[in-house]
Structure 1
């Protein structure tokens, strides 16, 4: 008798909590959750990655030996600041800390060009600078594609995944353009 009573109570509880509207209800632990650790990690790492792109492009626009390298560099800036603002807004909404500014360090984190490569580029001039810059920016953009592929695979935030898809498309196009450039 007691087992039957427990079964009836359980069925009533189930009916009252999840089936009253005819729609499948999300489990309480998932209610309102629209992102996961992979989404947060992506924004925390892609913001400094974009900041480093801007820094590397500035180096080429100021030190590039050829017009082609300076023009290629300038073409890489489309949307970087807009993406940074969007990712910062997501991090704020998720109560996540903001990443360190790329100009303050952080070059050892995944996806970033290391300090030694930046110093070597900074000390180069003319054709040597152009050759190093072209190789470095390809490596940097490829890292951004890898980071974006990872969040598409492991993230759950729809807007983050959409941004990652856009980054992949744009950076693969930019990589192809850079590889066509000659110092």
Structure 2
């Protein structure tokens, strides 16, 4: 009985403690502004336009894809990466850093944002080619491009895990690597089934 009462008293305190830890331990300045380094800033600054391009590609897939599997995957990509863009933007604002401009459908601001050397980014020409494709030709092009895009994001996420300092940014990098590796396997399976 006493043990049950203790568990009933301690469990809510543990839950509260974990919630506070997830929010930066109750000290919003330490986790957000103090516990980060240049790699964390680079990760967020580069991953935002990278994600924005993936969301743009996903929107094209919803409009142009023939396969329902491709459309379902596109919805998953948008649902995951949209909130991650908001999360990383919030970190940059808190850290006093510039947030990349992703307006203009993802392409307008990206051509001038120094994304040329970013792993997995599609060129404007590739994006135009994808946008003008339809049906099964679109599906194949989208899957091939998105596999390359995801591989680039995984490379960026691994760099963050190796060199970053912010626990939140490292956690997100781990999530990106895990999620996108699974999506690559799904995309390869869809390509093989066509």
Q: TM-score range by the shorter chain?
A: 0.7 to 0.9
Which ranges in structure 1 are unaligned for 5 or more consecutive residues? 1-31
Q: Deviations over 1:88-119 (max 9, x none)?
A: 11101111011121342314611322112111
Structure 1 residues 159 and 44: alpha-carbon distance in aligned structure 2, compared to 1, 3 A threshold: same
Residue 182 of structure 2: which of 169, 173, 179 is its match? 173
Alignment length, in residue pairs?
152
Change (3 A) 1:40 1:103: same
RMSD value over aligned CA atoms? 1.6
1:69, 1:85 → 2: CA distance?
A: 25
Match of 2:37 in 1: 36
1:131 aligns with 2:165: no
Q: 2:168 aligns with which of 152, 159, 170?
A: 159
CA distance in structure 2 between the partners assigned to 1:85 and 1:67 by the alignment: 28
Matched-pair contact (CA < 8 Å) for 2:107–2:124 = no
Corresponding position of 1:53: 54
Q: Does structure 1 residue 93 correspond to structure 2 residue 94? A: yes
Which stretch shows the higher mean deviation, 144-153 or 81-90? Answer: 81-90
Q: Over residues 124-152 of structure 1, what are the superposed CA-to-partner deviations in whole Å (9 max), with x where a residue is unaligned? A: 12221111111011111111101100111
Deviations 1:42-97 (Å, cap 9, x if unpaired)?
11111111111111001011000222221222222232222111111110111101
Q: TM-score, normalised by structure 2?
A: 0.73
Q: Rg bigger for which structure?
A: 1
- 4+ long deviations beyond 6 Å: none
TM-score (normalizing by structure 1): 0.77
Kept after mapping to 1: 8 A contact 2:62/2:71: yes
